[in-house]
Structure 1
Amino acid sequence: MADVKAKKDRKKPVVRVSYNEMEAFMMLPVLEGEEEPYTLDEINTALERAGVKSGIKTDLLEQIVIDQSCGYEHLIAEGTEAVDGIDGYFEYNFNTDLNRRPTIRPDGSVDYWSIHLVEIVEEGQVLAIYHEPVQGSNGMSVKGKLRKAKRGRPLPPLKGKGFDKSEDGLVYTSQIDGKIDMKNGRINIVPVYEVYGNADLSTGNIDFNGDVIVHGNVTTGISIKAQGSITVDGVVEASRIEANKDIVLRGGVLGKKRGVVSAKGCIYAKFFEYANVEACGFIEADSFLDCNVFCEDEVKLNGKKGSIIGGKTEAIKGITANVLGNESYKKTSIQVGIGVELLKRVNNAENELLEVQSLVDKLTEGIRQFDELGKEKNVDVKKDERRVALVRAKIAKTADLNICKEKVEYVHKLLEKAKGADIKITKKVFPGSKVMIDSLVVIVKDEQNGVNFVINEENNLVMYPI
């Protein structure tokens, strides 16, 4: 009886469970005197009391009983961590991140070859490989609690045109040689007009519903129009270049006072000389020489020269350059904010809207009078040729009215963009330069080093040193 009592009074095995319940440790208190050795039943009872029921190392427990290892902890149970699944993903075999801005070299020059607007693929080229999701496996804590794994989620198939998909839906290949675009998981491959040499009399004028790439020069008199972008590796002479998107002219422009470069997007060029330039987006170049430039955004002359010499440069949002004018005091004019050109466009758009609205109102009134006359005479006038002509005219003019409203909305957005416009000339402003912000004008009479032209609180155009 005394032995049973002694066994009952002695210290019991101590079980400690980690805070995340993924490990359980056991320590057997040191036996004193003639105390009986610990048994496997005692250890299992201690584990049950602590709630440990999973990941138990039974071989280790048996060895502990054999060795009677007392006085220090043993890791006697380990949980199983959940292994998260892997979502399905596409491995793309083309450049999905195009570089749309030129790189500035360490010496300050601009690398226009770094601009990459068009990614070309070939017929049969593997465009993408789909890797299916990998399902995870659930885990378990030492207390038997389920640890749920994150499920690997599939991706929807790629949508678009110009490519084929394998029967298993895993491999996508190009149907044609062309330009590839990817946006919001949608791939489109469209033909590209590529000239491997000069665009000259042998190629003739180009008018293409897509992107145009010229790997040589564009010679005098040639016209290139594109609904997409235009990229020219060589020099553009006295030609007409028009794009519905961006234009990249790696070799610059020698316009001979007849060259025209116009883009609905942005324009990047090594230089412009004696050219007419217009862009809805921003314009980046190394220099302007005797050019007429109109930009609905911002003009940045950010190369080694970074100069504007001669001509007129107008940018609604702002102008940044290194040098304005030259040592010969050549007349050079720059304008930002709300200039004459923008005001003219606003007035034209609003006047056109009023005229078309007036016509729609007159046509509406004419139709109403026909209907009133029909009621008075109790005659159905809906098929009357004169009324039908009025209705058709109203439908056409209503379409014109919507276009006019869009134009007015657009020019008013330009007015908003013009607010706070400024001019930064980081190195030198030469005398003879004419600087305009909105309707305010400053003629620079003395050479200036690094100035910022702004309109101050008193509504004066002033220069601040940079």
Structure 2
Amino acid sequence: MSDTAIGSRAEGYLLEFQDEAVFLTVYPQETNQSTFTDVTLLCAILKKHNIQKYKIADLLKIIELHDGTRQQISGAGMTVGEEAEEKSYVPIIEVSKDKMKAVIYFEGPEELFNFDKAYIMKQLADMNISYGINEKAIEEYLKYPNQRIVIAQGRQPINGENAYIKKYIDFSKKGRPSEQQYGKVDYKDLNLFVLVSKGDILAERILQTKGEVGMNIMGQEIACRPGKPIPLLKGKNTDILNDNTLIAMLDGQAIDENNKISVDPRIDINSDVDYATGNIDFNGSVFIRGNVQEGFTVKAQGDVEVGGTITGGVVEARNVYINGGILGMRHGKVYAREDIRTTFVENADITAERDIFISDVALHSVINAGRRINVNEKRGQIVGGYVVAGMLIDAKLIGNAINVATRVEVGINPIISKKYKTLAGKIEAAKKKLKTIKSTLVVFEAKMDRLTLDQKMKFAEMKRMQFPLAGEIERNENELKSIGEQLKNMENAKIKVADKIYPGVKLVISSLLYAVQIEAQHCTFSADRENGCVKNGPY
């Protein structure tokens, strides 16, 4: 046996393995230090060093004395009777590293097991195990001591649930054509409006929970993470009841805008927009069962749905849906702050800040979309005109067999670029204004006791102004960041052709020009910036 020492004065004990002898010292109690009592630990160490011939009674006696005396407990020098005495066995209690579980087992012959529940409970107390003790498990263990069994179990902490907004309205189907048999869709039923009645519950805030602290078997608390709160935002024409329930204040169309639900009233026009109705300018949504005739205008803060066609008229709205199509007659225009959906476009000027969906054909028109233009249903053809999208143009056919001049462009979008510059200008102006306000407030505060009544009123007004202005700057900066990401995404702009593209078509991708000389099929055009050209790949 090589010389080894385990333990220290600070730990309360010292086991020394020298030659063929083993010595134990249990030190007297120091100030602010409890007496060492863990006989299970000593037995485990002796077992690890293959020491079998010792008396458990000797260990208990030395622990009880704890006078710092070094005493031999095994090996050479012991009396023959002591050395020949049968090996002592005690139940071993193991504690997991995280102090969440204690397991007991006995490695000796079952006939040598003569311990009771009181002994095990004392061992647990000596090891400072005070929580989660399973007395039934201890009783079960005493019946069959050769098993390994968990006799103490801690309680894991339960983190709190985050608050969330439960919406009672399904917005996911909004703007989607209804499906019919055999996979067909009905473009006359676009599910455009989510209608609610006054008093309807629109959303509910489910509050966060605090969670529950845990406890290890030593009786020490384990912290939990509380749930996070979330604001319940009140949109237009809504109100909040009991702090957590959002309701509609009038009949109308529910709109989900940046996690804020608003209610827009709408109007129904059961005829054409013509001399009988005059121009329409409405801050809600408009449903027109007939056509928008030449020379008439429909403007709406909400959505506009036209059951017939726009025949030389002008429509401006958030989303514009035309079941028939758009006959521009060279002066008809359609503008949408979000999306446009129509069957066809002919000799018209249409613009959408997001996406344009044309289910049949686009003929000799100026078409501009902030993100995507999709013309890949039915005939799916773009012929003539000037078609521009920020990120993607996807069509079945571009051009035609008689090589009509057609210009298609992606990667540069004047709508978003202009919006970015305008917003950046507003932010800069607002920051200058806020800086001026703060400087003026500092001057006023320095001579507060000498201010006139008018100056004091101006001081109070400027103090109130600075906080909303700072909030406006923050919101605009977040929007500017979002627009900047859109501009960055335009670097990967593409033109996709599911069927054919004909000669006579000119493509512009991120300022790179490509004139189609020969007919190509099933292809995708994108910018090759390394070589400064447009490349043609598979669809």
Counterpart of 1:223 (choices 269, 284, 296) is 296
Task: Give 3-state SS (helix, strand or coil) of 2:219's partner.
Answer: coil
Matches within 5 A, 1:255-404: 255-257=328-330, 259-295=332-368, 297=370, 298-309=372-383, 311-315=384-388, 317=390, 319-327=393-401, 329=402, 331-336=404-409
1:47 matches 2:124: yes
Cα distance in 2 for partners of 1:415, 1:7 equals 78
Structure 1: segments with no counterpart, 5+ residues: 350-411
User: What CA deviation, in whole Å up to 9, does each residue of 1:10-52 have, x standing for no partner?
Assistant: 212111223443332222444577x582133321232234432
* AA in 2 matched with 1:304: K
User: What CA deviation, in whole Å up to 9, does each residue of 1:263-293 have, x standing for no partner?
Assistant: 3443222222343323444422123343321
More divergent stretch after superposition (103-112 vs 87-96)? 103-112
Could you say if the C-alpha distance between residues 187 and 337 of structure 1 is closer, same or farther in structure 2, counting changes exceeding 3 Å?
A: closer
User: What CA deviation, in whole Å up to 9, does each residue of 1:345-375 have, x standing for no partner?
Assistant: 99xx9xxxxxxxxxxxxxxxxxxxxxxxxxx
* Structure 1 contact 14–46 (Cα < 8 Å) conserved: no
TM-aligned CA deviation for residue 308 of structure 1? 1.4
1:86 matches 2:158: no
* AA in 1 matched with 2:205: Y
Structure 2: segments with no counterpart, 5+ residues: 1-54, 61-86, 422-483
Aligned length: 388
Cα distance in 2 for partners of 1:57, 1:419 equals 65
Cα distance in 2 for partners of 1:83, 1:319 equals 50
Cα distance in 1 for partners of 2:152, 2:490 equals 71
TM-aligned CA deviation for residue 74 of structure 1? 2.8
The alignment's TM-score, normalised by the length of structure 2, stands at 0.59
* Structure 1 contact 229–243 (Cα < 8 Å) conserved: no
Counterpart of 2:92 (choices 14, 21, 27) is 14
Cα distance in 2 for partners of 1:418, 1:156 equals 34
Query: Highest CA radius of gyration, 1 or 2?
Result: 2
Could you say if the C-alpha distance between residues 158 and 212 of structure 1 is closer, same or farther in structure 2, counting changes exceeding 3 Å?
A: same
Cα distance in 2 for partners of 1:77, 1:10 equals 25
* AA in 2 matched with 1:225: V
Could you say if the C-alpha distance between residues 201 and 463 of structure 1 is closer, same or farther in structure 2, counting changes exceeding 3 Å?
A: same
Partner of 2:102: 24
1:130 matches 2:205: yes
Task: Give 3-state SS (helix, strand or coil) of 1:270's partner.
Answer: strand
Counterpart of 2:506 (choices 435, 448, 464) is 435
Could you say if the C-alpha distance between residues 447 and 36 of structure 1 is closer, same or farther in structure 2, counting changes exceeding 3 Å?
A: closer
TM-aligned CA deviation for residue 312 of structure 1? 0.7
Could you say if the C-alpha distance between residues 240 and 147 of structure 1 is closer, same or farther in structure 2, counting changes exceeding 3 Å?
A: same
TM-aligned CA deviation for residue 307 of structure 1? 0.5
Partner of 1:235: 308
Cα root mean square deviation, aligned: 4.4
Cα distance in 1 for partners of 2:174, 2:379 equals 23
* AA in 2 matched with 1:128: A
* Structure 1 contact 308–332 (Cα < 8 Å) conserved: no
The alignment's TM-score, normalised by the length of structure 1, stands at 0.67
Cα distance in 1 for partners of 2:411, 2:225 equals 56
